[in-house]
Amino acid sequence: MKKLAIFVDVQNIYYTCKEAYGRQFNYRKLWQHLGYEGEIAIANAYAIHRGDDGQLKFQDALKHIGFEVKLKPFIQRSDGSAKGDWDVGITIDIMEAASEVDSIILLSGDGDFALLLGHIAHKYGIETQVYGVPQLTAKSLIDSAAKFHEIDGSLLQ
């Protein structure tokens, strides 16, 4: 059975699904779908911690499904902008998992991950998959993955 590692850029998936469809992503449907593909050995969801009740319930739901939820504090800058980027943390975790699994599955539309996926596919000979909203996923990321899965109505709540 194929060993899978799932990495979810929660903020990216939330905002792209909201913008494109006005709906939320259904993590339980994803988990069920991937369970047919292989054994889920690693499942990390990366989010920003704001401490509100709705977010805490969402994080608990992710944990109940089987995800390890990794949180960074929400930082509001004095100019009104916000900081909360998981790109480096996701990259480190993917690099560490690449030698342990058969397939890396990334949920994000962020083109910054394209180089990473190309590198691990070449270095470790593993399959790379991306789930993203087509019109909001960087072409470079789509092109870097062995398989691109369109987030559509079947994966939404």
Residue 137 pLDDT > 70? yes
Q: Which fold has domain 6-155?
A: Rossmann fold (3.40.50)
Give the pLDDT score at 145.
98
Q: What is the pTM of this model?
A: 0.93
Kindly report, residue by residue over 71-93, the tens digit of the pLDDT: 987 766 666 555 567 899 999 99
pLDDT of residue 72: 85
Q: Are 73 and 48 in contact (CB under 8 A)?
A: yes
Enter the tokens of residue 57: 């319930």
Quote the pLDDT of residue 51. 74
Predicted confidence (pLDDT) per residue in 24-49, tens digit: 999 999 999 999 999 999 999 999 88
**pLDDT recorded at residue 73:** 79
Cβ burial of 20 (10 Å; 0-12, 13-18, 19+) is middle
The kind and range of the H/E element at 83 are: strand 82-83
In whole angstroms, give the CA distance from residue 37 to residue 2.
7
What are the domain boundaries of the chain? Answer: 6-155
pLDDT in the model for residue 80: 59
